[in-house]
Structure 1
Amino acid sequence: MANLLRIVLLSLPITFVTFSCFAQKGLKHANPQEVGMSVERLERVAKLAERYVAQGNYSGVVTMIARKGKVVHLNAAGSFGVDDPKPMQTDTLFRIYSMTKPVTAVAAMMLYEQGKFRLDDPVHLYLPEFKDQKVWVDGKEVAAKSPMTMRQLFTHTAGLTYGFTPDNPVDIAYNEQKVLDSKDLAEFVDKVAKLPLRFQPGTRYHYSVSVDVLGAAVERMSGVTLDEFFRKRVFEPLGMQDTFFNVPAEKMSRLASDQYWDKDSKKIMTVPPSSQRNYKDNGMYSGGGGLVSTASDYMKFAQMVLNGGTFNGVQILSPKTVEYLSLNHLTPAVRAEGANAYPGLSLHNGQSMALGFGVVTHPAWMPAISSKGEISWAGAAGTKFWIDPKEQLIAIALVQLYQAPWPLRYDLKAAAYQAISKLN
């Protein structure tokens, strides 16, 4: 726990040697003051991570911040896990879970730009299994008032669920059918399509497997697996060499330990091998939560979004498409209906849904400093990122701890924004 590795952009020769690696891989760097940030105040971000590690809240933390297209902070604190004392590294691989969703959304919008679908098309045009899917209402299955649409998959308003509610019949059915344990997307689609929707499509926000369904649609429309589409159309063009559904054997030693917070013993525990997700020969390419990545790789993806669809000379999306996907796509009525989707998984009061991202609509209502138009998402094992177009700032925090009760995400926002010395 005492092993710390800190790399913060300071006026030291070793720092510039370290950051030259980013330049070679496409990420640019800058002295913080060049982009309106304070060197001294950025130290507080590293100290925040160190404090969390020292208190035993996390085994290890990696944080990364960029502003105006330049990396100004990268820090690794702690160790790989309670079962692995080797020092955390800045290129450690993390299970990013739902931070996969924005990647899937971008992939789908690439096909949208090619004219492969329209946002308000019924999903069954691309996944026929969902034609005439029923809705669970008052203890019985009834016809849907309208088919779920492609747009609703991006925004969790299609009426689907996740299986997280133990007393709901539809969620119970998801668990009985082991929807999340499907061997591939074909089996996943077959299982979900045979189960009723939990809500009438388009009536409320409800966090769900909808982005996994969107990933399946990407497969059908593109004619290749989601794994291949991501690799050839997103990861390779952006230089993301450490992002995968399946981790190459030679890189498995860089994967952080799989851990959870045990509230009874108040300790970090390692997930038993029998319960760990497979990242070696997994055929279920989960567009909702299947990727492993690094801070630097995800920064490239996020920077592409902030740049309006372009990174390192490669155009992934049109700037107008990025502008559109970043807007609030929920009506006030639908947003209000989804105010309490799940405990801990609801949208914040000042937040709504863009296409595949959460978007800040009212910064003053958020639990931490934010900007209007900021887009973000998080992962089940505690990972978090946000993109702030107003301040031209991206921040990423990677940890590997399920059920963590700590407010790292909010503390990081305070630490990142207090380091700004000049507003954009």
Structure 2
Amino acid sequence: MKRIYSCNIAAAFATAFVLASCAGAEPTAGNVSQPVAQPAPTPTPAPTPAIAWTAADALAKEYATQKKVPGIVLAVSAEGQPTRFLSEGRIAIDANAAAAGPDTLWRVYSMTKPITGIAAMILVEEGKLKLDQPISDFFPGYKTMTVAVDPSKDLTARPAAREITVRHLLTHTAGLGYSINLTGPLLAEYERLGLLPFAANRQIEAEAVKVRPKTLREFAERAATVPLIADPGTRWSYSMSTDVLAAVVEAAAGIGFEQFVSTRLFQPLGMTSSYWRVPASEVGRFVDNYMWAGDNLAPLDPAAQSAYLDAPSFPYGGAGLVMSARDYDRFLAMLQNYGELDGRRILRRETAELAMSNLLPTGVTYGGVSGSTGGQALPQSGYGAAGSVTLADIPGGPGAGTYGWGGAAGTIAWVDPKNRVRATGMVNYFPAEKYPLREDMIKAVYSDRATR
């Protein structure tokens, strides 16, 4: 708009100069003053009607007034209009707690994964990583992986059919497991090795830190010693692959993962409220996390004593961030603009499009996972750079290419570049599937867009 506006100004000055010159010239033989053709006026496009966001606002109010949550913040935007922040309730059940707002801090858990995925795509663009590059290039222990024959019985294993690649880590097709969904001997081995890349509260952390690796490199190296649950590239299975990917990013970039994310994403995007460790000075805007026990909320991780006030064993690329709705919206806005925000380019357009496309290996499908991970699948979904991807337009809903993910404590976010829509929902309670916030938000957001 600025460029069009400046061009119109320049044209107007040029026309005025020609008219003034002609008016002041002395007519001579062969120099008969002729009318100067006027340029056709450029029509001014009608402004896009503002979206009232009445359905989204009503949704936020419903969740708070019906005490589904102590507090909630929704960040919504469509048609290039400024983000609307719809905030209700408080950061804790205490009546004197601060009101929730755009800069309130939330545990986003697995909404960390798309950020790690996009960090990896920056390196893919720079040629420091390739999608189908074996990760044994960085961690030789992955050269000869094995696959458990019957993980419910024991750890007997056979050689893996192929190596794990960057693509496999991005798409949860590496064959790695996750302590949240493993059982039996394989779960016991993950726990023995401290392959527990997340924080719940200080009580649980006190035990986890005794066995957990102290660095990303050590974490990745230990993960290479455990049998896989399937051959790489053959099956979608939710896993700690994004945490291993963080170690690969660190190795490929040559600097710490936390530093890489900060300097290549957070700082250029103006994301000033995104933390692996919440500073003590910011605890006043940090929400309490709760556990639903029947119809009662019980504190699980109170902000004042939160595990997130302590330094993590290492930055968990799959579930480690605490963020504000404003910050996550800026991350999505960059993706909605295909890699650019406020004049700062993070990714080339083609790289952003690739990240938000279906990157699953041939023959592998994604059918979704439980709400406790934020990964409920929309119809015809695939998987991109550490987030789900909608493969076809949904009538009255997200368009093809919609990309996003959720978190274990109920958070959800997506960006729909085709329809110029993005949305973030922030709450903090376990289990996430207690209420269908993702479905409720999709319905409200696209209803508001349709009725503007």
Partner of 2:117: 105
**Pairing of 1:6-405 with structure 2 (within 5 A):** 34-39=47-52, 42-83=53-94, 85-138=97-150, 139=154, 140-180=156-196, 181=208, 182=212, 183-263=214-294, 266-271=295-300, 276-331=306-361, 333-335=363-365, 339=367, 345=373, 348=377, 349-364=379-394, 369-404=397-432, 405=434
SS for the counterpart of 2:112 is helix
Aligned counterparts of 2:86 and 2:162: Cα–Cα separation in 1: 49
Moved more, 266-275 or 63-72: 266-275
Tell me the secondary structure at the aligned position of residue 76 of structure 1.
strand
341-350 or 235-244: bigger deviation: 341-350
How far apart, in 2, do the equivalents of 1:291 and 1:344 lie?
A: 17
Partner of 2:449, secondary structure, is coil
1:261-310 C-alpha deviation (Å, 9 max, x unpaired): 123xx211111569953343224101111111111111111111111111
Shift of 1:343: 7.7
1:172-198 CA distances to partner (integer Å, 9 max, x unpaired)? 321333311433313321321111111
Contact 1:69/1:303 (8 A) holds in 2: no
TM-superposed deviation, 1:72: 4.2
CA distance in 1, matches of 2:351, 2:268: 18
Q: Distance in 1 between matches of 2:71 and 2:371?
A: 26
Contact 2:177–2:237 (CA<8 Å) still a contact in 1?
yes
Stretch moving more, 344-353 or 390-399 = 344-353
SS in 2 for 1:359: strand
For 2:180, the aligned partner's letter is: F
Report if the CA contact (8 A) 1:155-1:205 is conserved.
yes
Q: Does 1:412 align with 2:441?
A: yes
Q: Against the structure 1 CA distance between its residues 407 and 37, is the aligned structure 2 distance closer, same or farther, given a 3 Å change threshold?
A: farther
- Provide closer, same or farther for how the CA distance between residues 422 and 166 of structure 1 changes in structure 2, counting only shifts above 3 A: closer
Aligned equivalents of 1:222 and 1:275: distance in 2? 34
Deviation at 1:232, TM superposition (A): 1.1
Bigger Cα displacement from structure 2, 167-176 vs 234-243:
167-176
Preserved contact between residue 326 and residue 375 of structure 1 (Cα < 8 Å): yes
Structure 2: distance between partners of 1:340 and 1:410: 14
C-alpha separation in 1, matches of 2:408 and 2:62: 22
SS of residue matched to 1:66:
strand
More displaced stretch, 413-422 vs 153-162: 413-422
**What is the match of residue 42 of structure 2?**
none
CA distance in 2, matches of 1:299, 1:198: 35
Asked if 1 retains the 8 angstrom alpha-carbon contact of 2:290 and 2:299, the reply is yes
Q: How far apart are the structure 2 equivalents of 1:259 and 1:233?
A: 33
With normalisation by structure 2, the TM-score equals 0.79
Indicate conservation of the 8 Å contact 1:129/1:189, yes or no: no
Residue 344 of structure 1 and its aligned partner are, at CA, apart by: 5.5
- Report the alpha carbon displacement of residue 86 of structure 1 after superposing the two structures with TM: 2.5
Distance in 1 (alpha carbons) for counterparts of 2:73 and 2:103: 9
Alpha-carbon distance between aligned partners in 1 of 2:50 and 2:400, rounded to the nearest angstrom? 20
353-362 or 271-280, larger mean C-alpha shift: 271-280
| Alpha-carbon distance between aligned partners in 2 of 1:347 and 1:412, rounded to the nearest angstrom | 13
User: Aligned equivalents of 1:342 and 1:206: distance in 2?
Assistant: 12
Return the alpha-carbon distance in structure 2 between the equivalents of residues 130 and 277 of structure 1. 32
Q: 1:173 to 1:106 in 2, by over 3 A?
A: same
Range with greater deviation from structure 2 (355-364 or 401-410) = 355-364
TM superposition shift of 1:340: 6.6
Percentage of pairs with the same residue = 32
Moved more, 238-247 or 122-131: 122-131
8 A Cα contact 2:98 2:285, kept in partner:
no
Query: Equivalents in 2 of 1:395, 1:306: separation in Å?
Result: 11
In the TM superposition, residue 152 of structure 1 has moved relative to its aligned partner by 0.5
Q: How far apart in 2 are the matches of 1:380 and 1:246?
A: 18
Q: Are the equivalent residues in 2 in contact too, given 1:350–1:363 (CA < 8 A)?
A: no
| Runs of 5+ consecutive residues of structure 2 not aligned to the other structure | 1-45, 197-207
How far apart, in 1, do the equivalents of 2:420 and 2:371 lie?
A: 31
Query: Quick one: distance in 1 between partners of 2:313 and 2:82?
Result: 35
Whole-angstrom CA distance in 1 between matches of 2:120 and 2:438: 28
Task: State the alpha-carbon separation in 1 of the partners of residues 162 and 306 from structure 2.
Answer: 38
**What secondary structure is seen at the aligned counterpart in 2 of 1:199?**
coil
Q: 1:37–1:422: 8 Å Cα contact kept in structure 2?
A: no
CA RMSD of aligned residues (A): 2.4
Indicate the residue corresponding to 2:39 in structure 1. none
The question of whether the paired residues in 2 share the 8 Å contact of 1:205 and 1:341 is answered with: no
Post-superposition shift, 1:45?
1.3
Farther-moved stretch of structure 1 (316-325 vs 274-283): 274-283
Bigger radius of gyration among the two: 2
